[in-house]
Amino acid sequence: MNIEEIEKSINYKFKNNKLLETALTHTSYANENNVESYEKLEFLGDSILEFISSKYLYNTYENLSEGQLTKVRAQVVCEDSLKEVAKSHKFYEYIQVGKSEKANGGNKKDAIMADCVEAVIAAIYFDGGLNLAEKFIIDNLKDSIKYAVKHIGMKDYKTVLQEKLQANGDVHIEYVIINEEGPDHDKTFTAEVKCNGKVLAKGIGKSKKLAEMQAAKSALGE
């Protein structure tokens, strides 16, 4: 595991590298190699994430009601949002999984990547304190929070599509950004939604998330 590369990406240097290694160690690898997994760190990281995101929302968006704050927080701390954080730092290149799990692409599973983000939050907390854990959380989620606040009340077409496609069993749903145009301050993105490798629809939006949402909406025929 290249500790320095991860530290550079997440903009945090660990005093105790073991904490970071544990945060990226899945149970399957831990059982095979008699080491500690990220499960306990994830447990604590989940609570820290909820607290910090709640505090940030409370202090930043004073005009939102309790119900609106709850909706925004739920969208921001969900698996879909956290796995995007993991992807942005390429955690899948460093997550340690067991042989069987690795054969099934376990290091790239959404749930495992999301769990690792929560575990890394706890690792930073133990290594550097709450303020630095808070910095990591806000640095990585403030754009998602801004998006969620802007689109409060918007129908979650991605969830609706997922529920419809998985009604008769588990399927692999994937969103891919296939094009982006315009300057950095005014980009337009095009996304594709696929089910088991088959392209269902495309969508265009001013953010990646909005483009994905539009693709899901088109796939639903709405």
**202 in the same domain as 121:** no
**186 in the same domain as 142:** no
Cα→Cα distances 122→34, 47, 117, 129, Å = 21, 9, 9, 9
Considering only CA atoms, which of 74, 77, 80, 53 is closest in space to residue 212?
A: 80
Q: pLDDT digit string (tens) for 4-62?
A: 999 999 999 999 999 999 999 999 999 999 999 999 999 999 999 999 999 999 999 99
**Residue 193 burial (CB count, 10 A):** 29
Average pLDDT across the chain, whole number: 91
Report the distance separating Cα 182 and Cα 51, nearest Å: 37
**165 in the same domain as 140:** no
**131 in the same domain as 113:** yes
Report the distance separating Cα 114 and Cα 41, nearest Å: 13
Beta bridge partners of 188: 181
Q: Looking at the annotation, which residues are catalytic?
A: 46, 118
Report the distance separating Cα 53 and Cα 1, nearest Å: 29
**51 in the same domain as 27:** yes
Greatest CA separation for the chain: 52
**182 in the same domain as 98:** no
**125 in the same domain as 18:** yes
Q: pLDDT digit string (tens) for 132-163?
A: 999 999 999 998 898 888 877 666 788 889 88
Tell me the H-state helices in the chain. 3-10, 17-23, 27-33, 39-60, 66-76, 79-88, 99-103, 110-128, 130-150, 157-165, 208-219
Picking from 150, 178, 211, the residue at the C-terminal end of a domain is 150
pLDDT at 59: 96
pTM higher than the cut 0.85: no
Report the distance separating Cα 167 and Cα 87, nearest Å: 27
pLDDT at 153: 67
| Number of folded domains that form the chain | 2
**84 in the same domain as 35:** yes
